[in-house]
Amino acid sequence: MRVGAVRGVLALSSAVVLGLAGCAQTSSERAGDDTGLRIVEQVRIDQNGNQVVPGATTAPPPAAPGGDGDAVCPPLSLATTATLSGPDAALGIGIRNGIQLAVDEHNSANPGCQIQLKTFDTEGDTDKARADAQQIVEDAFTLGVIGPAFSTEVLDTGDIFDAAGMVAATASATAVALAGQGWGTFFRGLANDAVQGMAVANYMKRQLGSTSVCVLDDGTDYGTGLAEAVRQTLGAAADAACSIALDLDDPASTVSTVEERSPDAVFFGGYHSQSAALARALRDGGVDAAFVSADGSKDREFVAAAGEAARDAVLSCSCAPDNPEFVAAYTEKFGEPPGTFSAGGYDLGTILLNGIDSGARTRPALLDYVRNYSGQGLERQYQWAENGELTSTLIWIYKVQ
């Protein structure tokens, strides 16, 4: 499929986008052939952990990056900043590629308006993230940024983008505190940890029947915030004796604590590299409790790294099952299926590109466009409250099978 042909293919109805729950598997989450395991969508749930069946109402088709194809604009650029190297690079690369696909589709459809995507690798270093952010805002041609990907990096850079009046939309950072910083340029493209944590904890209690849960985290802003939301919602079901941060230097001690408590479930708040190591260590240590994690772990790299230990893991995410046409276009361009947040990156890129095409060709104009935006994407309906949170969110449950 040529990139120029993607525009028409992706103009699917929201009924198709939201009606994929019955698919056999999420093709974007295929692990290596040696595992035979897949991340398979199960149900969409509400905050009480109950299944929500999509209604029959047909929503408008998702916005297309190419628009009507007749945009004319001066040389302009968007930026993306994320961790693109190191053990957790898969998340950032997936987002970057989703944005690039949207930009390429836009440029193919609009020869009179060519937008450049400028990419910055934070390398997982907060000092580098701040240096990148400063470089981005000093570029007069750059109107908006998508990123960073991790909550810690967003906390460390949000003030820079806010001072410059630049739209800063994240496709993956979920720490609740991000929306409370007073930034007027911050936009979150998915549910925050409080929303997801409450939903998955209630799902564990009411659908999985969990009565004794060890809640672990990786010590990051993302992991600790998510784990705390899970603990609060679980209440008495969260075993206080094994409510701990994972010791990355001595995982055996964590496994020993969990083994002593004999929980019926373990919840881990963290990213896929640590999640995979933990899942392996727990299974090697004889712990057969249900393993539950969230969007930071919902990546094919988790399955590939954890191998058989990933089997039956339950993963929550505010990301909807992938649109098959999007998967095909992405895979043809990049040689691999999209990551967990690739479609979210594509959606946010589309919104900014549509804003430029509408005539919002200064930072204040593009900021105003996003603040007042309401439209359907591949992932969800996008509209933001004053603090940069989405006005509505969805949570999906997936399982490794």
Q: Which residues pair with 170 in a beta bridge?
A: 188
Model confidence, pTM:
0.85
Report the domain count for the chain. Answer: 2
Q: Which of 83-92, 178-187, 353-362, 369-378 has the lowest mean pLDDT?
A: 83-92
Q: Is 5 within a domain? A: no
Please give the DSSP secondary-structure letter assigned to residue 21.
G
pLDDT at 207 over 50: yes
Give me the residue label for tokens 């004796």: 241
**What confidence tier does 231 reach under pLDDT thresholds 50, 70, 90?**
very high
Share of residues in the chain with pLDDT > 90 (%):
80
Q: Which residues have C-beta within 8 Å of that of residue 208, sequence separation ≥ 6? A: 265, 290, 292, 314
Distance CA 357, CA 340 (A): 28
Residues 186 and 201 in one domain: no
Tokens of 160: 């820079």
Q: Mean pLDDT over residues 343-363, rounded?
A: 98
Same-domain check for residues 302 and 228: yes
pLDDT band at 363 (very low <50, low <70, confident <90, very high): very high
Task: Give the side-chain half-sphere CA count within 13 A for 228.
Answer: 13
264 found inside a domain = yes
Residues 284 and 145 in one domain: no
Rounded average pLDDT over 381-400:
95
Among 267, 293, 317, where does a domain finish? 317
Answer whether residue 376 is part of any domain. yes
More confident site: 310 or 392: 310
Q: What is the pLDDT of residue 35?
A: 66
Q: Which residue in 171, 172, 167, 198 sits closest to 183, CA to CA? A: 167
Averaged pLDDT of the chain: 89
Same domain as 363, residue 287: no
Q: Is residue 12 part of a domain?
A: no
Q: Which two structure tokens, joined as six digits, stand for 65?
A: 């990056």
Which range among 55-64, 152-161, 299-308, 382-391 shows the weakest confidence by mean pLDDT?
55-64
Please report which confidence band the pLDDT of residue 8 belongs to, taking 50, 70 and 90 as the band edges: very low
Residue-wise pLDDT tens digits, 49-73: 999 987 656 678 999 999 999 999 9
- Write the DSSP string, 61-125: PPP-TTTTS-----SEEEEEEE--SSTTHHHHHHHHHHHHHHHHHHHHH-TT--EEEEEEE-TT-
284 lies in some domain: yes
> Is residue 8 assigned to a domain?
no
**Is 58 part of a structural domain of the chain?**
no
Which residue, 317, 350, 379, sits at the end of a domain?
Answer: 317
Full domain range(s) for residue 164: 76-191+322-391
Which contiguous run of DSSP H or E holds residue 395? strand 395-400
34 pLDDT band, cuts 50/70/90, is low
Q: In which band, very low, low, confident or very high, does the pLDDT at 273 lie, cut at 50, 70 and 90? A: confident
Same-domain check for residues 299 and 387: no
* β partners of residue 263: none
Residue 23 is predicted with a pLDDT of: 31
Give me the percent of the chain exceeding a pLDDT of 70. Answer: 90
Same domain, 85 and 171: yes
pLDDT of residue 57: 64
Q: Are 216 and 269 in contact (CB under 8 A)?
A: yes
Are 311 and 213 contained in the same domain?
yes
- 215 and 310 together in one domain: yes
Q: How far apart are CA 333 and CA 250, in angstroms?
A: 41
Beta strands in 166-295 (DSSP E): 167-170, 186-188, 213-217, 244-245, 265-269, 290-293
Residues 337 and 228 in one domain: no
Q: Which residue has the tokens 């995410």?
A: 317
Q: Are residues 238 and 249 in the same domain?
A: yes
Separation between Cα atoms, residue 7 and residue 17, nearest integer Å: 15
Position 88 confidence tier, pLDDT thresholds 50, 70, 90: confident
Of 317, 333, 349, which residue constitutes the final position of a domain?
Answer: 317
Work out the pLDDT band at 244, boundaries 50, 70, 90: confident
Let me know whether 313 and 252 are in one domain.
Answer: yes
Here the tokens at position 251 are 């995982």
CA 315 to chain centre: 13
- Residue 20, pLDDT > 60, answer no
Same domain flag for 202 and 289: yes
373 vs 355: CA distance, rounded Å: 9
**229 in a structural domain:** yes
The CATH number that applies at residue 134 is 3.40.50.2300
